[in-house]
Amino acid sequence: MTALDLAGPVAVVGTGTMGQGIAQVALLAGHLVRLYDTAPGRAREAADAIGARIDRLVEKNRLTTADRDAARARLLPAEDLTDLADCALVVEAVLEELGAKQDLFRALEDIVGEDCLLATNTSSLSVTAVGGALRNPGRLVGLHFFNPAPLLPLVEVVSGYATDVSSATRAYETARAWGKTPVACADTPGFIVNRIARPFYAEAFAVYEAQGADPATIDAVLRECGGFRMGAFELTDLIGQDVNESVTHSVWRSFFHDVRFTPSLAQRRLVESGRLGRKSGQGWYDYREGAEPAEPHTAEPRPAPAYVVAEGDLGPASELLALIREAGVQVREDEEDHGTRLVLPGGGQLTLADGQTSVEFRDVVYFDLAFDYRKATRIALSASQDTSAQTLSEAIGLFQALGKDVSVIGDVPGMIVARTVARIVDLAHDAVAKGVATEEDIDTAMRLGVNYPLGPFEWSRRLGRTWACSLLDDLHERDPSGRYAPSLALYRHSYATEKREGAS
């Protein structure tokens, strides 16, 4: 089977924000759409709200008046679940509670035809478990839209253990016919996005809990250096701390308390205090009227060093050498040394974050990974109490000469962006090895679902295919809890690459 025939009605059960968004997508794709909600009058209210949003599309010249009128005529509130009997597809967007979803689909099985496709929009429950209550679980599939559904293009098409291939294919092609970008994935905790995105939040919170930096500084580094659209603290404030923590706990429990997905105690305290983010007026940041915006730590101006000595090509940060020359700082190259660092005039070293700490060495300042060193507007530096004041000053002055704001954080192994990207790359390799999704679909999901500047495998190819494994190995040595241990999949990938390069 392919996409649904446009003559086949689509039903959406549950008329909250997500349900309304899905209904609007199906409606504007040309379907007759029926809305149902157990609360009396709620379906009519949802239909009116969708109609108002469609009116605004006309005002913005994104929809003609004739198309608006036709769409409004196709949108029908349902008084009873039996009104959905002739639907070709029923999408559920009700309470995120397993029993409620199972009860709904059991009732639908007695109402709709045998060829009706059933879909759950769950983001945290097992599609397999939802379908386990059905006589025919093969026709149940996950259709996980992202909020707001009319605007965000990604849809995760999730196959439960018992989902028929034909059902998954039909759901995939329907999502594509609706103008969405579908990705196929197996039924795993968090699916693609919520599984692989956990380190983005977790590592930011870990740096904060280690007193490496404050939320505003960490967010600024993730945005202005890492290329992420938003920082982890501001993003979870937008999502809602309770919602984000709930997803984290769900993934952690579903993976039998795997240490890689351990929730944050700092976030738990935030939720317990009722500081849920923008919706409550306070979260990591204060959104109340008159509150002063939090500012990142930015170093005071320092003089640029007259020269640096380049030992090696700096690996993933090699473009810095051209930027340094363009800024008028002399670059002296040490061709006999095979390291990957800069030596400053005072004798101190400047090194890309590698999972080690500054305190282990005589006089080292680490700098963080950047998505694009030329376009980055901020660079994070990490130093220990033993780093000389001269070395830190020269490092700050060097990056300021390149036009960057500089944030100095604590002696955190892997810093902020580097450890985050390495863990995202690792979870992505692990997901492919376990049959969750393809490399292409994972890259697509992470770019479209959470606006990452690159997909994990695109990042891996750019940074060098042994980079993430090497950094995580060093992190694991310093934190042997297992949180940073490279997955077997990443280890195999890195080792095979090293063998190929050694043989060439």
Positions annotated as catalytic residues are 123, 144, 156, 194
DSSP 277: B
The DSSP H or E segment spanning 349 is strand 349-352
DSSP helix/strand/coil, 33: strand
Quick one: which of 199, 409, 404, 212 has its CA closest to 297?
409
Check: CB of residue 175 under 8 Å from CB of residue 218: no
The DSSP H or E segment spanning 399 is helix 389-401
Locate 169 and state its tokens: 């294919």
Locate 330 and state its tokens: 């002399």
Strands 140-145 and 154-159: antiparallel
Task: Report the DSSP beta bridge partners of residue 120.
Answer: 92, 142
Strand order in the sheet with 330-333: 330-333, 307-311, 341-343, 349-352, 364-367, 378-382, 405-409
Check: CB of residue 354 under 8 Å from CB of residue 470: yes
Locate 162 and state its tokens: 């018992």
d(CA 271, CA 139): 38
Report DSSP letters for 300-335, one per residue: PP-PPPSEEEEES--GGGTTHHHHHHHTT-EEEE-T
Quick one: which of 232, 292, 283, 291 has its CA closest to 419?
232
